[in-house]
Amino acid sequence: MSGAVILEVGDVVPVVLQVVDGSTGLYPQAEIRDDQGNLLTTLDLSHEASGLYVPDSPYQMPNKIFIKVTYITYTDDVHTVESEIYMRDVDIFVSIVPGDYKADVSALALDLTFLKDIEGGDWKRDGTQMIFYKAGGAEVARFNLFKFDGTPATEQDVEVAERQRV
């Protein structure tokens, strides 16, 4: 078992079985079940190369919470004799709907602009406040400054313990 893989609904599910010894004369199948255990389909897997078996046609991720792909290796082409050498294996694929996971970055853009203005502009201390300006002079933010005892920090106070945005 390789763990859970996240796919968008509609993506091709990488249904692949690799037998460790490279055997080529097997007849594996992949049973695909949904999150409720319902059988969605069974795919016959064909040998591709060096013991790697793949379906003849791609299987697309359905709109289910997740799917389980159980690989069963048979020694006969009518799929009645299960191999005693190659044990069953399972892969889990979790679905996401396209667009559902994309973040709204508009707030992030505003935050980055604010940081750019603060870092790229000027500042000055005026009485008990510190004022930040964009490059060019427009005010960006103003903060009240406080000493360690909680009283306002004046320009004569060199140590400021806290600032609060006004």
Backbone angles phi and psi of 106, in degrees to 5: -65, -40
pTM: 0.60
Q: Which domains does the chain have, with CATH numbers?
A: 4-96 (2.60.40.1220), 106-165 (no CATH)
Residues 64-122: tens digit of each pLDDT: 999 999 999 999 999 999 999 999 999 999 998 776 666 667 767 777 888 888 888 89
| Residue 95: Cβ within 10 Å count | 21
Most confident of 29-33, 100-104, 112-116, 161-165: 29-33
Residues 37-58: tens digit of each pLDDT: 999 999 999 999 999 999 999 9
Distance CA 5, CA 25 (A): 29
Q: Residues 6 or more apart from 64 whose CB is under 8 A from it?
A: 34, 35, 40, 95
Residue pair 16/51 in contact (Cβ under 8 Å)? The answer is no
